[in-house]
A and B are shown apart, each in its own frame.
Chain A
Amino acid sequence: MKSNNKSLFQKDLLNEAFRQSFVKLNPRLMFRNPVMFTVEIGTAVMLIVSLWTLTGSSDQGSFWYNFTVFLILFLTLLFANFAEAIAEARGKAQADSLRKTREETPARLADGRTITSAALKKGDIFICEAGDIIATDGEIIEGLATIDESAITGESAPVIRESGGDKSSVTGGTKVLSDKIKVKVTTEPGESFLDKMIALVEGASRQKTPNEIALTILLAGFTLVFIIVTVSLKPFADYANAPITIASFIALFVCLIPTTIGGLLSAIGIAGMDRALRANVITKSGKAVETAGDIDVLLLDKTGTITIGNRKATQFYPAKDIDEKQMIRAAVLSSMSDDTPEGKSIIELAGVNPLSYAVNAPRFIRFSAETRSSGIDFEQSRIRKGATDAIKRIVEKAGNIFPEEIEAKVREISGKGGTPLVVSENETALGVIELQDIIKPGIRERFERLRKMGIKTVMVTGDNPLTAKFIAEKAGVDDFIAEAKPEDKMNYIKKEQSAGRLVAMMGDGTNDAPALAQADVGVAMNSGTQAAKEAGNMVDLDNDPTKLIEVVEIGKQLLMTRGTLTTFSIANDVAKYFAIIPALFITAIPALQSLNIMALSSPQSAILSAVIFNAIIIPFLIPLALKGVAYKPIGASALLRRNLLIYGLGGLIAPFIGIKLIDIIVSLFI
């Protein structure tokens, strides 16, 4: 289902966008974009003027000249509409393809009836067995199942979902591979996150983001300046006895106002959300993507993000005078009933089958938060395995001595980032098991990249401070929260926010929900609980904790694309002035020929060339608007220099060349 490699323009999308370009000419829709709205007025005026020239009046120039100007302006409008329409169509197509997977799936209700997924309401309960496609988003209320989520995430390894806890959410369209679950529907039809996302992309409910509003104000301001410039030129020209035709006035105006960015602005915004969707992130608002670009602090869970899954046992260290075999036996036996990955890795490291030891009538002691140890009791043996201080307490309570060399080993292991587990038998410490975290390859480079972007990374872990510090240094994160409880995350976020920083985090559990809501950008994993998904402002379908990094880059790209195209658009004005101003006055004031530095062939050709350039630059820049300007983490000043050079200087020079070339072609016809 991953579709990152689709070409920018697909045929069916083009057709739809083409149709929409005309629909969007409706002035009521156009009014939302002040820049293009004024172009539409200008276009209407030019249509009237061309018709007027048909009546025989000749002081406005020939019909064909006026009509050509009208046509070019009309094209400018269509191009701008097309940009928006193609962005919408692409976003919708992406969302639709995700949605299709979950339509028309039969759902078996608890009472035995079978209905289509579309008829499911919030609160309904349905049953899924091995081989079934899950009808809609919901929460498992009973049972456990392995589920193939590849339809949504593209990840082929099946995942386990079970009732209760943080992995209880299932997504419509995914397939149950084994076992049987009861699922409670959590959303009304048409209100799932995907539905909301589609609505965001469609014109009707799309809200302008705060930054888009501010930019629109800037562009509207420019438009007003140029209205004043153009209107006041009328009496100036009359005073200088240099009458100007209506076509020239409108051409001057349309060329000066920032039509390039004005025409592409909404396309850029939609494309930002679309890019997020292509990265399999559903955003609940355009603002969230924008905010992602501003993030100062990233909270990342250690497990799964920085380290690969879980810790593994790497070494046994028996105490002095203790036979290694004896210690390994105790370690293995204590891990027999421990089905955590750590427990399993101990047996793996020992390479001994636990059943090979003779054990009669064992009684397993489960791990609990109070004892912080687990183990096994049989015959005369009481084997325990647990945190150092927990075992130390047991040993010392019995009046035995906790060996100095074990304490030293424990410190050494913690110091290099490992987790020590101490094993005891009958209240005598036998030795230490070392567990180590494996840091994901390439993660250090990613954090380095983030640091260059100005983002502080914070590792959240349940480890003790010593271990946390070691891993933090090894992975290259800037800060860490050790022995983290859910409220620690919340407090950290609040602390950073009160210092004015924007914080992003990723989470899945219900106890993450308050922090997800508090964070400026909260990305909930799709596998997480409904509460977590409701609290965050994005949902990651891939459940990939490193996704935050991509989200931040998408946000930055979005803002940069706006900025660079605005710069480009405004820089274009210089060349357009030099094309049109001499053309306006050369007939009446021949001396101004010296201002015609591009040596354009005639006033009419100069004006047409400028307007044509102004129109065709929009489709030229549509790919850039959709793909976004490439973000390079080279520091803000270097980035500004780079973009100023490309889009500022480029915007200054490009139209000089473009207008001159167009003039050479146009002059063949005039």
Chain B
Amino acid sequence: MNTEILGIIVMFTATLALALPFGKYIARVYGGEKTLLDPVFNPIEKVCYKISGINNKKEMNWKEHMVALLTINLVWFLLGMLILMTQQWLPFNPDHNPNMSADLAFNTTISFVVNCNLQHYSGETGMSYLGQMWLMFLQFVSAGTGLAAAAILFKAFREKTTDQLGNFYDFLMKSCTRILLPLSLVVALILVFNGTPMTFEGKDQIVSLQGDTVNVSTGPAAGFIAIKHVGTNGGGFFGANAAHPFENPNYLTNMVVMFAQLIVPLAMIFAFGYFTGRKKFSRMIFGVMTVGFLLLTLPNINMEMNGNPAIAAMGIDDSSGATEGKEIRFGAAATGFWSIVTTVISTGSVNGMHDSTMPLSGMNELLAMMVNAFYGGCGVGLLNFFIFIILAVFISGLMVGRTPEFMGKKIEAREMKIAMIIALLHPFLILVGTALATAFPAQGASTLNNPGFHGFSEILYEYTSSAANNGSGFEGLGDNNLWWNITTGFVLILGRFLPIIGPIAIAGLLANKKYIPESNGTLKTDTATFGLMVFAVIAIIAALSFFPALTLGPIAEYFSM
């Protein structure tokens, strides 16, 4: 078999095999059971809680959870703005990088707080080491926020009727110290051994064969890159992201960081099953997500390996695939695979330029972010998927002749209202953002490098990536200006917090309702039939609303090729 394909299969299977026990471990962590790491972290945590005066034992209802979540996120945002706008005068700036402008700092901080990491700057010239370390901190806590939010959902469906949904700070702290930190340490070590720098020294100098002196940016990169993937953040230390040789030195690291971005979202699905005792239900979720994932991935690997017919027509050998914008050390298959992994999961790191992938590969990357629920980001992927489950439960519940119920709780007008608002939000942000950018070409469209359908795809991609909190760029547009920084900044905030608050509100409301025991007439939500229903709801609501837009972008480009 083709070694390129084999590599992908081995990597994906290994990740799956590890995700099961890791999911069990995560369920133990949120269940408050003892873990191996307790002796190390318990004392540290105790000190933190003592200093901050936080009582991590106090049970919260869903509203208190959300207040805590938003408050602490606001604090991180304000600190971030302060650091980035004054970094020139602060320590750890050996390369003497300047202060960030207010709009760029706004965009950058927001995008790291919301786990998106849309980067309108380049790490080498735009960020001090202190700034990078603050961003690294945000990469931990933003992923932790998502995981903690998912843990609230777990809790809401474990009890029969309750408004006591655990403590937010406890969930957040445990997410960071018991899940993200140990994984990141392992990944960072592998990266360091493969050549990724981890230093506080400034730029290095080499003399090339030509005799020119080249300044090479280094820095505390390995730690940053590890959490960037483990936390499904995706923000690169260097501008070229995971295509940069220091970020992703070789095929092994490429596979390791792909594992790193898949493991937590996958494990969270199984953790839900272990935590609530509904393993079959979590297998249904896994099944639907994986089918969606494969339907996007397989065509991409195929298209990228087949190469570009336009190049072949010029008489150039493209037997190694469509190599424009790709690193030879990874190859077409691994890059095609990565392009979907990074977009279905809200990582957004790139090891090749998505702008150069084939038109329909680009469409699949867009679709992955438009759906944003096939695996999805740390914790938030499950929350997004939950909304589709609610919609599917409502419609199919009626189809079996009962007023709809999910896990023994009735779905009524209030829950539908919230679910519909959240389902609406994603198309709203993407389509309205793109519409504004095309309607006012002086602001948005004029910054494009490509005219026509491809240019349209670039705009669509930028807003899709923002709304999905993905952070990857199709690039090809001059995105560091007031327009892009501010509009995408707001899309990022809305696209992050509403899809967290919505599902948690629904879960909180449902948790408070009377539990209805299952009967023969109850819709079973852990079956393949229901999975099919969820998939259909996703395909029709999430994907089809974008059909007209995709037609004018990648589809038109494909048929015009």
Chain A interfacial positions (CB closer than 8 Å to B):
210-211, 213-215, 217-218, 220-222, 224-226, 228-229, 231-240, 242, 252, 290-291, 293-294, 296, 451-456, 499-501, 555-557, 559-560, 562-564, 566-567, 570-571, 573-574, 577, 581, 584-585, 589, 591-592, 594-595, 631, 635-637, 639-641, 643-644, 647-648
Contact = CB atoms under 8 A, between A and B. Distances in A.
Counting chain A CB atoms within 10 Å of each CB, the highest count among B427, B453, B545 belongs to: B545
B403 A240 contact: no
B365 to A, nearest CB: 19
Given A563-B399, A636-B520, A236 B548 contact: yes
B395 interface: yes
Given A228-B432, A290-B403, A556-B401, A235 B439 contact: yes
A229 B523 contact: no
Contact of B529 (A239, A574, A644): A644
Interface string B413-440: 1011100110110011001101110110
A452 B521 CA distance: 7
A637 B527 contact: yes
12 contacts: A213-B413, A236-B434, A293-B403, A296-B519, A454-B519, A456-B519, A499-B517, A500-B408, A563-B400, A577-B544, A594-B559, A640-B533
A294 B395 contact: no
Nearest to A558: B401
A644 B399 contact: yes
Contacts of A232: 431-432, 434-435, 549
B302 interface: no
A294 B530 CA distance: 20
Contacts of B413: 210, 213-214, 217
A252 B396 CA distance: 26
Contacts of A215: 394, 398, 416
A456 B518 CA distance: 12
Interface stretch (B118-126, B184-192, B550-558): B550-558
B20 to A, nearest CB: 26
B515 interface: yes
B306 interface: no
B402 interface: yes
Contacts of B515: 500
B318 interface: no
B159 interface: no
B435 A235 contact: yes
B411 interface: yes
Contacts of A567: 395-396, 399
Contact of B548 (A224, A233, A562, A643): A233
A214 B411 contact: yes
B493 interface: no
Given A210-B412, A585-B551, A644-B533, A229 B400 contact: no
A221 B544 contact: no
Given A228-B428, A573-B544, 8 more contacts: A234-B435, A555-B401, A585-B556, A589-B559, A591-B556, A637-B523, A640-B523, A643-B399
Interface string B505-526: 0000000001111011111100
Counting chain B CB atoms within 10 Å of each CB, the highest count among A296, A562, A637 belongs to: A637
B540 interface: yes
B445 interface: yes
B396 A217 contact: no
A212 to B, nearest CB: 9
B123 to A, nearest CB: 33
Contact of A636 (B434, B516, B521, B560): B521
Contact of B552 (A237, A294, A500, A640): A237
A556 B521 CA distance: 10
A589 B401 contact: no
A451 B391 CA distance: 28
Contact of A294 (B402, B548, B551): B402
B76 interface: no
A564 B397 CA distance: 10
B456 interface: yes
Contact of A574 (B453, B544, B545): B544
Contacts of B432: 228, 232
B519 A564 contact: no
Nearest to A296: B519
Interface in B93-107: none
A290 B401 CA distance: 9
A455 B521 contact: yes
A639 B431 contact: no
A-B interface, 7 closest residue pairs, ranked by CB to CB distance from nearest: A563-B398, A454-B521, A556-B401, A221-B420, A454-B520, A454-B519, A563-B399
A605 to B, nearest CB: 19
B294 interface: no
Counting chain A CB atoms within 10 Å of each CB, the highest count among B394, B402, B434, B517 belongs to: B402
B251 interface: no
B335 to A, nearest CB: 27
Contact of B522 (A226, A238, A454, A643): A454
Given A225-B541, A570-B540, A636-B524, A231 B398 contact: no
B49 interface: no
Contact of A640 (B400, B416, B428, B514): B400
A559 B403 CA distance: 7
Contacts of A228: 424, 427-428, 431-432, 545
A8 B545 CA distance: 38
A291 B401 CA distance: 10
Nearest to B423: A221
Contacts of A641: 529
A240 to B, nearest CB: 5
B536 interface: yes
B399 A640 contact: yes
B558 to A, nearest CB: 9
Contacts of B396: 563, 567, 640, 644
Contacts of A560: 398-401
Nearest to A631: B401
B547 interface: yes
Contact of A453 (B435, B520, B549): B520
Interface string B361-383: 00000000000000000000000
B519 A455 contact: yes
B506 to A, nearest CB: 13
Contacts of B436: 235
B79 interface: no
Nearest to B516: A500
B6 interface: no
A224 B417 CA distance: 12
B424 A591 contact: no
Nearest to B452: A240
A648 B547 CA distance: 20
Nearest to B459: A239
Nearest to B542: A225
B311 interface: no
Nearest to B532: A644
B544 A214 contact: no
A543 B332 CA distance: 76
A290 B395 CA distance: 15
B399 to A, nearest CB: 4
B402 A640 contact: no
Contacts of B530: 637, 640
Given A236-B438, A560-B398, A637-B529, A573 B540 contact: yes
Contacts of B529: 637, 640-641, 644
Contacts of B391: 218
A505 to B, nearest CB: 18
A595 B559 CA distance: 9
B424 A224 contact: yes
Nearest to A557: B401
Nearest to B460: A236
A581 B413 CA distance: 33
A571 B548 contact: no
A296 B404 CA distance: 14
A217 B395 CA distance: 12
A641 B532 CA distance: 10
